[in-house]
Amino acid sequence: MTENRTIFWLVLIIGSFLQPIKSLAQLKTFHFEQIDSLQIIEKRKVIVFIHTDWCKYCQAMKNTTFKNKDIIALLNSKFYFVDLNAEERKSIRFNGNIFEYKPTGNQTGINELATEIGVIDGFISYPTLCFLNDRNEILFQKNGFIESAKFIQVLNVFSIEK
């Protein structure tokens, strides 16, 4: 009887260590400066997640949508994913241009690149997803929180679209 208990506990302990290994899929993120080189190796669409640190919907997407294993698998295999903090203070080199941080008030500002690719109908809001083709042209923009099932649908459409 104690032998069966020992085996039971051993299996339970080993299983608890192995369980987290399955969920360790990591979303590969790239910097804008890498995109041109990556496109030479393999042409892919680019998905840019434009967010801020203070945006609760942005944080919710990071903690739910971008932790979904199916989304991670699709993004890693079919797209180049770029995480862009709209308030990034360092210069960003992309598509032959340098984008700078522009103050908008006391202790606030926005990087020009966030404005360049994130403005929809004259406004920027967070979070915003921007899909670019392999020539860095905007294909699609969507602002607001997107839950996992809806995002998978969008990714599936763009993964087969040329």
- For position 76, which CATH number holds? 3.40.30.10
**One-letter amino acid of 69:** K
- Domain-located, residue 8: no
What pLDDT shows up at residue 107?
85
What pLDDT shows up at residue 16?
52
How would you classify residue 94: left for phi > 0, otherwise alpha for psi between -120 and 50, otherwise beta? beta
What pLDDT shows up at residue 160?
82
- The rounded distance, in Å, linking the Cα atoms of 88 and 85 is 5
**Sequence-distant (≥ 6) Cβ neighbours of residue 46 within 8 angstroms:** 35, 79, 80, 81, 82, 131, 132, 133, 134, 136
Helix, strand, or coil here: 27? coil
CB atoms within 10 A of CB 48: 25
- Domain-located, residue 105: yes
What pLDDT shows up at residue 1?
57
Query: Could you please report the per-residue DSSP string of 91-119?
Result: -EEETTEEE-EEEEETTEEEEHHHHHHH-
- Domain-located, residue 12: no
- Domain-located, residue 81: yes
What pLDDT shows up at residue 105?
87
Listed as own residue / partner, the contacts of 7-16 with beta carbons closer than 8 Å and 24 or more positions apart are none
- Domain-located, residue 73: yes
- Domain-located, residue 99: yes
- The rounded distance, in Å, linking the Cα atoms of 62 and 60 is 5
Task: State which residues form the domain around 84.
Answer: 25-160
Whose CA is closest to 92, among 118, 71, 70, 73? Answer: 118
- Domain-located, residue 5: no
Per-block mean pLDDT, blocks of 10 residues, the chain (162 long): 57 50 77 95 97 97 97 97 96 95 92 96 96 96 97 93 64
Number of domains making up the chain: 1
pTM, entire model: 0.83
- Domain-located, residue 126: yes
